[in-house]
Protein backbone atom coordinates (compact mmCIF):
# COMPACT_ATOMS: atom_id res chain seq x y z
CA UNK A 1 0.00 0.00 0.00
CA UNK A 2 1.46 3.34 -1.09
CA UNK A 3 0.41 5.92 1.51
CA UNK A 4 1.58 8.83 -0.68
CA UNK A 5 -1.02 7.97 -3.29
CA UNK A 6 -3.91 7.67 -0.78
CA UNK A 7 -6.12 10.46 0.50
CA UNK A 8 -6.32 9.48 4.19
CA UNK A 9 -8.77 12.25 4.98
CA UNK A 10 -11.08 11.05 2.24
CA UNK A 11 -10.85 7.46 3.49
CA UNK A 12 -12.07 8.56 6.92
CA UNK A 13 -14.57 11.02 5.45
CA UNK A 14 -13.18 14.07 7.29
CA UNK A 15 -11.70 17.46 6.38
CA UNK A 16 -8.00 18.35 6.44
CA UNK A 17 -8.59 20.56 9.50
CA UNK A 18 -10.27 17.80 11.58
CA UNK A 19 -9.23 17.45 15.22
CA UNK A 20 -7.82 14.28 16.76
CA UNK A 21 -11.15 13.65 18.44
CA UNK A 22 -12.98 13.95 15.10
CA UNK A 23 -10.45 11.61 13.51
CA UNK A 24 -10.98 8.90 16.17
CA UNK A 25 -14.75 9.25 15.96
CA UNK A 26 -14.71 8.92 12.17
CA UNK A 27 -12.46 5.88 12.40
CA UNK A 28 -14.73 4.05 14.84
CA UNK A 29 -17.74 4.72 12.71
CA UNK A 30 -16.11 3.54 9.50
CA UNK A 31 -14.29 0.59 11.10
CA UNK A 32 -17.49 -0.78 12.58
CA UNK A 33 -19.18 -0.53 9.24
CA UNK A 34 -16.30 -1.87 7.09
CA UNK A 35 -15.00 -4.66 9.38
CA UNK A 36 -14.29 -7.87 7.42
CA UNK A 37 -16.41 -9.94 9.79
CA UNK A 38 -19.45 -7.88 8.78
CA UNK A 39 -18.60 -8.05 5.10
CA UNK A 40 -17.68 -11.67 4.36
CA UNK A 41 -18.85 -11.33 0.74
CA UNK A 42 -16.72 -8.24 0.01
CA UNK A 43 -13.21 -9.26 -1.17
CA UNK A 44 -11.94 -5.69 -0.63
CA UNK A 45 -13.21 -5.38 2.97
CA UNK A 46 -9.88 -6.37 4.54
CA UNK A 47 -7.93 -3.92 2.40
CA UNK A 48 -10.32 -1.07 3.21
CA UNK A 49 -10.14 -1.87 6.91
CA UNK A 50 -6.33 -1.84 6.70
CA UNK A 51 -6.44 1.62 5.03
CA UNK A 52 -8.70 2.89 7.82
CA UNK A 53 -6.25 1.65 10.44
CA UNK A 54 -3.30 3.25 8.66
CA UNK A 55 -5.18 6.55 8.33
CA UNK A 56 -5.88 6.59 12.07
CA UNK A 57 -2.25 5.74 12.87
CA UNK A 58 -0.75 8.54 10.74
CA UNK A 59 -3.29 11.28 11.33
CA UNK A 60 -3.25 10.91 15.15
CA UNK A 61 0.54 11.36 15.20
CA UNK A 62 1.46 15.05 14.90
CA UNK A 63 4.83 14.55 13.14
CA UNK A 64 3.55 11.88 10.76
CA UNK A 65 0.46 13.95 9.98
CA UNK A 66 2.58 17.07 9.24
CA UNK A 67 4.82 15.09 6.85
CA UNK A 68 1.80 13.55 5.14
CA UNK A 69 0.08 16.95 4.81
CA UNK A 70 3.10 18.33 2.90
CA UNK A 71 2.96 15.47 0.42
CA UNK A 72 -0.83 15.77 0.12
CA UNK A 73 -0.58 19.52 -0.43
CA UNK A 74 2.06 19.10 -3.14
CA UNK A 75 -0.02 16.40 -4.82
CA UNK A 76 -3.15 18.56 -4.76
CA UNK A 77 -1.20 21.49 -6.22
CA UNK A 78 0.13 19.22 -8.97
CA UNK A 79 -3.39 18.04 -9.74
CA UNK A 80 -4.58 21.65 -9.97
CA UNK A 81 -1.70 22.54 -12.28
CA UNK A 82 -2.42 19.49 -14.41
CA UNK A 83 -6.08 20.43 -14.68
CA UNK A 84 -5.16 23.99 -15.61
CA UNK A 85 -2.57 22.78 -18.12
CA UNK A 86 -5.04 20.32 -19.58
CA UNK A 87 -7.55 23.12 -19.85
CA UNK A 88 -5.00 25.34 -21.61
CA UNK A 89 -3.95 22.53 -23.90
CA UNK A 90 -7.55 21.77 -24.70
CA UNK A 91 -8.17 25.44 -25.46
CA UNK A 92 -5.01 25.65 -27.60
CA UNK A 93 -6.02 22.51 -29.45
CA UNK A 94 -9.52 23.84 -29.98
CA UNK A 95 -8.11 27.19 -31.19
CA UNK A 96 -5.70 25.42 -33.54
CA UNK A 97 -8.44 23.20 -34.94
CA UNK A 98 -10.65 26.24 -35.37
CA UNK A 99 -7.92 28.15 -37.26
CA UNK A 100 -7.13 25.11 -39.41
CA UNK A 101 -10.78 24.69 -40.24
CA UNK A 102 -11.08 28.39 -41.13
CA UNK A 103 -7.92 28.21 -43.28
CA UNK A 104 -9.18 25.06 -44.99
CA UNK A 105 -12.52 26.70 -45.70
CA UNK A 106 -10.78 29.79 -47.08
CA UNK A 107 -8.46 27.65 -49.22
CA UNK A 108 -11.40 25.71 -50.63
CA UNK A 109 -13.23 28.93 -51.39
CA UNK A 110 -10.16 30.37 -53.14
CA UNK A 111 -9.67 27.16 -55.13
CA UNK A 112 -13.33 27.14 -56.11
CA UNK A 113 -13.09 30.79 -57.13
CA UNK A 114 -9.95 30.11 -59.21
CA UNK A 115 -11.59 27.15 -60.94
CA UNK A 116 -14.71 29.17 -61.63
CA UNK A 117 -12.59 32.02 -63.01
CA UNK A 118 -10.66 29.65 -65.30
CA UNK A 119 -13.89 28.11 -66.53
CA UNK A 120 -15.28 31.57 -67.29
CA UNK A 121 -12.12 32.54 -69.20
CA UNK A 122 -12.21 29.35 -71.26
CA UNK A 123 -15.87 29.94 -72.04
CA UNK A 124 -15.06 33.54 -73.03
CA UNK A 125 -12.30 32.37 -75.37
CA UNK A 126 -14.63 29.77 -76.86
CA UNK A 127 -17.29 32.37 -77.56
CA UNK A 128 -15.07 35.20 -78.72
CA UNK A 129 -12.39 33.06 -80.35
CA UNK A 130 -8.70 33.69 -79.94
CA UNK A 131 -7.58 36.21 -82.55
CA UNK A 132 -3.95 35.15 -82.25
CA UNK A 133 -4.83 31.47 -82.60
CA UNK A 134 -6.88 32.11 -85.72
CA UNK A 135 -4.07 34.20 -87.24
CA UNK A 136 -1.54 31.46 -86.55
CA UNK A 137 -3.83 28.82 -88.06
CA UNK A 138 -4.28 30.93 -91.19
CA UNK A 139 -0.54 31.61 -91.46
CA UNK A 140 0.28 27.92 -91.06
CA UNK A 141 -2.32 26.96 -93.65
CA UNK A 142 -0.87 29.48 -96.13
CA UNK A 143 2.67 28.22 -95.55
CA UNK A 144 1.63 24.59 -96.01
CA UNK A 145 -0.17 25.38 -99.27
CA UNK A 146 2.84 27.36 -100.51
CA UNK A 147 5.18 24.49 -99.62
CA UNK A 148 2.99 22.00 -101.46
CA UNK A 149 2.76 24.26 -104.52
CA UNK A 150 6.53 24.84 -104.61
CA UNK A 151 7.27 21.15 -104.16
CA UNK A 152 4.77 20.17 -106.86
CA UNK A 153 6.17 22.75 -109.31
CA UNK A 154 9.74 21.64 -108.61
CA UNK A 155 8.78 18.02 -109.18
CA UNK A 156 6.84 18.87 -112.36
CA UNK A 157 9.89 20.60 -113.87
CA UNK A 158 12.02 17.48 -113.54
CA UNK A 159 12.12 14.92 -116.36
CA UNK A 160 10.12 11.73 -115.84
CA UNK A 161 12.10 9.03 -114.04
CA UNK A 162 11.70 5.95 -116.24
CA UNK A 163 13.43 2.59 -116.35
CA UNK A 164 13.43 -0.13 -118.98
CA UNK A 165 12.99 -3.64 -117.57
CA UNK A 166 14.11 -6.72 -119.52
CA UNK A 167 14.11 -10.41 -118.63
CA UNK A 168 14.19 -13.76 -120.36
CA UNK A 169 10.82 -14.99 -121.59
CA UNK A 170 9.92 -17.21 -124.51
CA UNK A 171 7.43 -16.00 -127.04
CA UNK A 172 3.95 -17.17 -126.12
CA UNK A 173 4.97 -18.04 -122.55
CA UNK A 174 1.77 -17.47 -120.50
CA UNK A 175 3.88 -16.96 -117.35
CA UNK A 176 6.02 -14.33 -119.11
CA UNK A 177 9.17 -15.64 -117.46
CA UNK A 178 7.65 -15.37 -113.99
CA UNK A 179 6.95 -11.63 -114.17
CA UNK A 180 3.62 -9.86 -114.37
CA UNK A 181 2.14 -6.53 -113.32
CA UNK A 182 1.64 -7.58 -109.71
CA UNK A 183 5.07 -9.20 -109.30
CA UNK A 184 6.88 -6.16 -110.70
CA UNK A 185 4.93 -3.84 -108.43
CA UNK A 186 5.88 -5.94 -105.40
CA UNK A 187 9.53 -5.80 -106.42
CA UNK A 188 9.79 -2.05 -107.04
CA UNK A 189 7.41 -0.66 -104.40
CA UNK A 190 10.02 -1.30 -101.72
CA UNK A 191 12.17 1.43 -103.28
CA UNK A 192 9.45 4.08 -103.47
CA UNK A 193 6.20 5.19 -105.09
CA UNK A 194 5.45 3.99 -108.62
CA UNK A 195 3.80 6.51 -110.94
CA UNK A 196 3.07 4.05 -113.73
CA UNK A 197 4.00 0.56 -114.87
CA UNK A 198 3.45 -0.93 -118.34
CA UNK A 199 4.15 -4.55 -119.17
CA UNK A 200 4.44 -5.05 -122.92
CA UNK A 201 1.46 -6.90 -124.29
CA UNK A 202 3.12 -7.66 -127.64
CA UNK A 203 6.56 -8.81 -126.57
CA UNK A 204 7.28 -10.98 -123.52
CA UNK A 205 10.15 -10.04 -121.22
CA UNK A 206 9.74 -6.26 -121.46
CA UNK A 207 8.26 -3.48 -119.34
CA UNK A 208 8.65 0.22 -118.60
CA UNK A 209 8.28 1.63 -115.09
CA UNK A 210 8.08 5.26 -113.99
CA UNK A 211 9.20 5.94 -110.44
CA UNK A 212 8.17 8.98 -108.45
CA UNK A 213 11.72 9.90 -107.45
CA UNK A 214 15.13 9.56 -109.07
CA UNK A 215 16.55 8.40 -105.75
CA UNK A 216 14.16 5.44 -105.65
CA UNK A 217 14.94 4.56 -109.26
CA UNK A 218 18.70 4.77 -108.63
CA UNK A 219 18.39 2.40 -105.66
CA UNK A 220 16.46 -0.05 -107.84
CA UNK A 221 19.04 0.11 -110.68
CA UNK A 222 21.95 -0.44 -108.30
CA UNK A 223 20.44 -3.16 -106.10
CA UNK A 224 17.53 -4.99 -107.73
CA UNK A 225 18.05 -8.33 -109.51
CA UNK A 226 14.49 -9.64 -109.50
CA UNK A 227 13.92 -13.40 -109.44
CA UNK A 228 17.03 -15.49 -108.78
CA UNK A 229 16.10 -17.92 -111.55
CA UNK A 230 15.34 -15.15 -114.06
CA UNK A 231 17.15 -11.92 -113.30
CA UNK A 232 16.00 -8.47 -114.31
CA UNK A 233 18.12 -6.20 -116.49
CA UNK A 234 17.36 -2.58 -115.60
CA UNK A 235 18.45 0.40 -117.70
CA UNK A 236 17.69 4.11 -117.63
CA UNK A 237 15.28 5.61 -120.14
CA UNK A 238 15.06 9.12 -118.65
CA UNK A 239 15.51 11.11 -115.44
CA UNK A 240 18.87 9.60 -114.49
CA UNK A 241 20.41 11.76 -111.72
CA UNK A 242 23.86 13.29 -112.12
CA UNK A 243 26.77 12.15 -109.97
CA UNK A 244 26.27 15.10 -107.60
CA UNK A 245 22.53 14.50 -107.33
CA UNK A 246 23.06 10.79 -106.70
CA UNK A 247 25.45 11.48 -103.82
CA UNK A 248 22.98 13.79 -102.05
CA UNK A 249 20.13 12.52 -99.85
CA UNK A 250 16.60 13.05 -101.04
CA UNK A 251 15.77 16.75 -100.58
CA UNK A 252 13.05 18.11 -98.34
CA UNK A 253 11.32 19.56 -101.37
CA UNK A 254 11.29 16.15 -103.05
CA UNK A 255 9.91 14.55 -99.93
CA UNK A 256 7.20 17.21 -99.71
CA UNK A 257 6.42 16.79 -103.39
CA UNK A 258 6.20 13.03 -102.99
CA UNK A 259 3.85 13.47 -100.06
CA UNK A 260 1.69 15.96 -101.98
CA UNK A 261 1.65 13.70 -105.03
CA UNK A 262 0.69 10.69 -102.93
CA UNK A 263 -2.20 12.62 -101.35
CA UNK A 264 -3.39 13.85 -104.71
CA UNK A 265 -3.02 10.40 -106.26
CA UNK A 266 -5.13 8.84 -103.50
CA UNK A 267 -7.93 11.33 -104.11
CA UNK A 268 -7.50 11.31 -107.89
CA UNK A 269 -7.93 7.53 -107.98
CA UNK A 270 -11.69 8.14 -107.99
CA UNK A 271 -11.54 9.82 -111.46
CA UNK A 272 -12.38 7.67 -114.51
CA UNK A 273 -9.39 6.90 -116.83
CA UNK A 274 -8.58 9.52 -119.48
CA UNK A 275 -6.88 7.16 -121.91
CA UNK A 276 -9.46 4.95 -123.62
CA UNK A 277 -6.79 3.01 -125.49
CA UNK A 278 -5.03 1.89 -122.30
CA UNK A 279 -6.37 -1.31 -120.66
CA UNK A 280 -7.49 -0.88 -117.09
CA UNK A 281 -5.05 -3.50 -115.77
CA UNK A 282 -2.01 -1.82 -117.33
CA UNK A 283 -1.68 0.82 -114.62
CA UNK A 284 -2.17 -0.83 -111.27
CA UNK A 285 -0.99 2.33 -109.55
CA UNK A 286 -4.00 4.20 -111.01
CA UNK A 287 -7.04 1.94 -110.77
CA UNK A 288 -9.99 2.90 -112.95
CA UNK A 289 -13.25 3.69 -111.16
CA UNK A 290 -16.67 4.89 -112.18
CA UNK A 291 -17.14 6.85 -108.95
CA UNK A 292 -17.07 10.63 -109.36
CA UNK A 293 -14.31 12.80 -107.87
CA UNK A 294 -14.79 13.98 -104.29
CA UNK A 295 -17.20 16.94 -104.30
CA UNK A 296 -15.73 20.36 -103.71
CA UNK A 297 -16.64 21.66 -100.27
CA UNK A 298 -16.47 18.32 -98.42
CA UNK A 299 -13.65 19.42 -96.08
CA UNK A 300 -11.49 20.50 -99.05
CA UNK A 301 -10.33 23.96 -100.07
CA UNK A 302 -10.59 25.25 -103.64
CA UNK A 303 -6.78 25.07 -103.91
CA UNK A 304 -6.70 21.42 -102.82
CA UNK A 305 -9.43 20.51 -105.29
CA UNK A 306 -7.57 22.31 -108.08
CA UNK A 307 -4.34 20.46 -107.22
CA UNK A 308 -6.14 17.11 -107.43
CA UNK A 309 -7.61 17.91 -110.84
CA UNK A 310 -4.23 19.08 -112.18
CA UNK A 311 -2.51 16.00 -110.77
CA UNK A 312 -5.06 13.74 -112.44
CA UNK A 313 -4.55 15.48 -115.78
CA UNK A 314 -0.77 15.12 -115.49
CA UNK A 315 -1.13 11.43 -114.65
CA UNK A 316 -3.32 10.86 -117.69
CA UNK A 317 -0.74 12.53 -119.92
CA UNK A 318 2.04 10.47 -118.34
CA UNK A 319 0.11 7.26 -119.05
CA UNK A 320 -0.31 8.25 -122.67
CA UNK A 321 3.36 9.12 -123.09
CA UNK A 322 4.49 5.95 -121.31
CA UNK A 323 2.19 3.79 -123.43
CA UNK A 324 3.46 5.47 -126.61
CA UNK A 325 7.06 4.97 -125.49
CA UNK A 326 6.42 1.27 -124.95
CA UNK A 327 4.90 1.02 -128.45
CA UNK A 328 7.93 2.77 -129.93
CA UNK A 329 10.29 0.49 -128.02
CA UNK A 330 8.49 -2.60 -129.32
CA UNK A 331 8.67 -1.27 -132.89
CA UNK A 332 12.39 -0.57 -132.64
CA UNK A 333 13.10 -4.03 -131.27
CA UNK A 334 10.94 -5.57 -133.97
CA UNK A 335 12.89 -4.01 -136.84
Q: Which tens digit of pLDDT belongs to each residue from 234-264?
A: 999 988 988 777 666 555 444 544 444 444 4
Using 50, 70 and 90 to split pLDDT, how confident is the model at 4? confident
User: Which residues make beta-bridge pairs with 161?
Assistant: 211
Q: Are strands 226-227 and 230-231 parallel, antiparallel or unpaired?
A: antiparallel
Is residue 136 within 8 Å of 213, Cβ to Cβ?
Answer: no
For 56-71, the pLDDT digits (tens) are: 888 888 899 899 899 9
Of the candidate ranges 131-145, 147-161, 205-219, 270-284, the one whose mean pLDDT is the lowest = 270-284
Residue 301 pLDDT class (50, 70, 90 cuts) = low
Query: How much is the pTM?
Result: 0.38
Of 175, 173, 207, which is closest to residue 188 (Cα–Cα)?
207
Hey, is 39 helix, strand or coil?
Answer: coil
Q: 275 falls in which pLDDT band (50, 70, 90)? A: very low
Q: How far is Cα 159 from Cα 154, in angstroms, rounded to an integer?
A: 11
CA angle 120, 122, 126 (to 5 degrees): 115
Q: What is the mean pLDDT of the chain?
A: 78
CATH of 144-334, one of 3.40.50.300, 3.40.50.2300, 3.30.56.10, 3.30.70.330: 3.30.70.330
pLDDT band at 140 (very low <50, low <70, confident <90, very high): confident
d(CA 305, CA 205): 40
Averaged over 117-145, what is the pLDDT? 79
The reply to whether CATH 1.10.287.110 applies to domain 3-60 is yes
At residue 161, the 3 state secondary structure works out as: strand
Q: Where are the domains of the chain?
A: 3-60, 144-334
Whether the pLDDT of residue 320 is over 90: the answer is no
Of residues 55 and 292, more confidently modeled: 55
- Other Cβ atoms within 10 Å of 320 Cβ, number: 14
Amino acid sequence: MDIEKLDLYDILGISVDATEKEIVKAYRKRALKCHPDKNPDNPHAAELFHQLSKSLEILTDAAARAAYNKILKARKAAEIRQRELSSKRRKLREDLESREKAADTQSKEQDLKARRNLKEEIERLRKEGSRLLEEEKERLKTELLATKDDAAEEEADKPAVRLKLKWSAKKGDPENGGYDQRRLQQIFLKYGEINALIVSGKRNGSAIIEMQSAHAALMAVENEIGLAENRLHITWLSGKPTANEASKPQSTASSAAASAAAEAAAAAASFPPQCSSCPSNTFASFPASETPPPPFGSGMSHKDFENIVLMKMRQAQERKRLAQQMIDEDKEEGT
